[in-house]
Structure 1
Amino acid sequence: MSLRRLLTRHRTSLSLLLQSRNLSHISPSYHHPSRFNPSSVAIPTSSSTHFLNDRRRGFAKGRKSKDDDAASATQVVEDIGPVIKSTASSQMEAALEALSRELMKLRTGRASTGMLDHIIVETSGVKMNLNRIAMVTIIDSKTLSIMPYDPETIKEIEKAIVSSPLGLNPKSDGQRLIAAVPPLTKEHMQAMCKVVAKSSEDVKQSVRRARQKALDTIKKAGYPKDSAKKFEKEIDELTKKFVKSAEDMCKAKEKEISSA
């Protein structure tokens, strides 16, 4: 073999070796010399490089910092404040309404349409509140009228009223029942005042429980210190308002009982 042919062969082998190394990142089909097509290889340009760098910078700018996350969390906490306050107010209002119903059940020596609302009448095997099957009206300060919607239920209504602890003994005139409200004895007045005092204490405890639930929710929500104090103050003011309303209702009832 001549020296010229030997050098030519070595140059070809060296060229192929360099090409295979430069194209190692391309699909294996390009490693074979016979399949290699230089025009199919995409060489990154400077503009492409700049585009990638811009995309990286844009992505970095779009990332949220820890401060942004903290601010978003704070905003969420602040948004639930009115909900906590509204829930506490609803619970306290419900306690006050329950107190009002209980006080209306008490006989004070004066006729009241609400004093018969809690009486349960059983008719045709069904139990219902008296005010759903009859209309109760006041004839005078000492007399009640009970007009059944269905005249056939008048005997059942009379039986239910007599069986109640109100001490009423209604009389029928054929169409309706007439119930005279007897005067209270001293012992009855004292007993009623004790019931009022107990009801007052019960409703105040219910209001305070609603307050404590609201404060616990505020604490668990992770409020900032200043915001937490603000909402706690608002809840305390709400509590004082409902406690005072309960006390005023009970004092008015006690006065009504004592003056009967």
Structure 2
Amino acid sequence: MSFNMDDTQRRMQGAVSALETEFQGLRTGRASAGMLEPISVEAYGSRMPINQVGNISVPEPRLLTVQVWDASMTPAVEKAIRESDLGLNPQAEGTLIRIPVPDLSSERREELAKVAGKYAEAARVSIRNVRRDTIEQVRKGEKDGDYGEDERHGLEAKVQKLTDDHVSKVDQMLATKEKDIKTV
């Protein structure tokens, strides 16, 4: 065979995993440590992920805290959180930064639902691109004499089934995320 079905599966799963990561960064009105992951802080002359300068925790459903390890970093962490487009207003108390998570307005909820839809569509496109590449490899394999027409049809059907399964998973993830975003 001139292609590897496991590689196709891995690449499609990679698109789904990337979508999960994107969705973690979307605010839903409930506090989650993943909300702060995309934020980077100017630290020691370079930019570092926020989780490398402090410990993020969720003591209450609407409150995040960041326990900064180096007291001199507290203002930089506070500034990075404030300047992120998450709409959060951190309050520093020594090396502990409290971040209340406000309710989302209905307009903001709609915006976030649209963003989630865009992320999901990008994942679907990525999955379809993997399908296209794999089917091209299968057809090239048939042309090169690696297998016959019947085998090619069978392999294309397997690739299509894999594509349908992964796109369905993306659709389920989007429905769950939209429900999560729109729940007040």
TM-score range, shorter chain: over 0.9
Equivalent of 1:100, from 4, 9, 20?
A: 20
TM-score between the two structures when normalised by the length of structure 1: 0.67
Q: What is the CA-CA distance between 1:126 and the residue it aligns to?
A: 0.7
Q: Which has the higher contact order (CA 8 A, sep 6+)?
A: 2
Cα distance in structure 1, aligned partners of 2:44 and 2:115? 34
Q: Which residue of 1 aligns with 2:115?
A: 195
CA-to-aligned-CA distance 1:158-185 (integer Å, 9 cap, x gap): 1000000011111112121110000000
Residues 70 and 95, structure 2, Cα contact 8 Å, conserved in 1: no
Q: What amino acid does structure 2 have at the position aligned with 1:122?
A: E
TM-score between the two structures when normalised by the length of structure 2: 0.93
Residues 112 and 181, structure 2, Cα contact 8 Å, conserved in 1: yes
Q: What is the CA-CA distance between 1:116 and the residue it aligns to?
A: 0.4
Q: Which residue of 2 aligns with 1:140?
A: 60
Please state if 1:204 is matched with 2:124. Answer: yes
Cα distance in structure 1, aligned partners of 2:6 and 2:138? 13
Cα distance in structure 1, aligned partners of 2:32 and 2:92? 19
Q: Which residue of 1 aligns with 2:167?
A: 243
Q: What amino acid does structure 2 have at the position aligned with 1:234?
A: K
Q: What amino acid does structure 1 have at the position aligned with 2:26?
A: L
Q: How does 1:1-260 map to 2 (within 5 A)?
A: 77=1, 80-81=2-3, 83=4, 85-222=5-142, 223-260=147-184
Q: Which stretches in structure 2 are left out of the alignment for 5+ residues?
A: none
Cα distance in structure 1, aligned partners of 2:69 and 2:151? 56
Q: What amino acid does structure 2 have at the position aligned with 1:121?
A: V
Cα distance in structure 1, aligned partners of 2:15 and 2:64? 29
| Aligned-residue identity in percent | 32
Q: What is the CA-CA distance between 1:150 and the residue it aligns to?
A: 2.4
Q: What is the CA-CA distance between 1:214 and the residue it aligns to?
A: 0.4
CA RMSD of aligned residues (A): 1.2
Aligned length: 180
Q: Aligned with 2:30: secondary structure?
A: coil
Cα distance in structure 1, aligned partners of 2:61 and 2:112? 19
Structure number with greater Rg is 1
Q: What is the CA-CA distance between 1:112 and the residue it aligns to?
A: 0.6
Q: Aligned with 2:47: secondary structure?
A: strand
Q: Which residue of 2 aligns with 1:10?
A: none
Q: Which residue of 2 aligns with 1:7?
A: none
Cα distance in structure 2, aligned partners of 1:250 and 1:188? 17
Residues 69 and 95, structure 2, Cα contact 8 Å, conserved in 1: no
Q: Answer with 221-230 or 250-259: which moved more.
A: 221-230
Cα distance in structure 2, aligned partners of 1:86 and 1:142? 42
Q: What is the CA-CA distance between 1:152 and the residue it aligns to?
A: 2.2
Residues 78 and 97, structure 2, Cα contact 8 Å, conserved in 1: yes
Structure number with the higher helix fraction is: 1
Q: Which stretches in structure 1 are left out of the alignment for 5+ residues?
A: 1-76
Q: What is the CA-CA distance between 1:93 and the residue it aligns to?
A: 1.2
Q: Aligned with 1:203: secondary structure?
A: helix
